[in-house]
Amino acid sequence: MPVRSAGRGVGDNVSPQLSWDGAPGDTQDLVLIVEDPSAPLPRPFVHAVVTGIAASTNSPAEGALNVTSPSAHRRARRGPWPPDR
């Protein structure tokens, strides 16, 4: 992951560019859940839950999923921190 995407104090907390395909043809909108299964916690750390992504979206640009972005209805994102933080 680019350092720019790391959490505040390490990077700029900017969501990375992503891409996907394969949504069924009748999809109305998408939900993106970003989990970190390698976080040193008893369960995966959830970095983001984004709802209301248009079904036609398949490659949001860098920063498109940030809190200040109008790309989705609900936006919250916390970039990863190095393990020593």
Residues of the chain with pLDDT under 70: 67-85
For residue 14, the model assigns a pLDDT of 84
pTM (global) more than 0.85: no
Question: In this structure, what is the dihedral angle of CA atoms 49, 54, 56, 60, given to the nearest 10 degrees?
Answer: -50
For residue 74, the model assigns a pLDDT of 47
DSSP class per residue in 22-79: ---TT--EEEEEEEETTSSSSS-EEEEEEEEEETT---PPTTTTSTT-TTSSB--B--
For residue 19, the model assigns a pLDDT of 94
Mean of per-residue pLDDT scores for the chain? 78
Computed on alpha carbons and rounded to an integer, the radius of gyration of the chain in Å comes to 14
For residue 83, the model assigns a pLDDT of 57
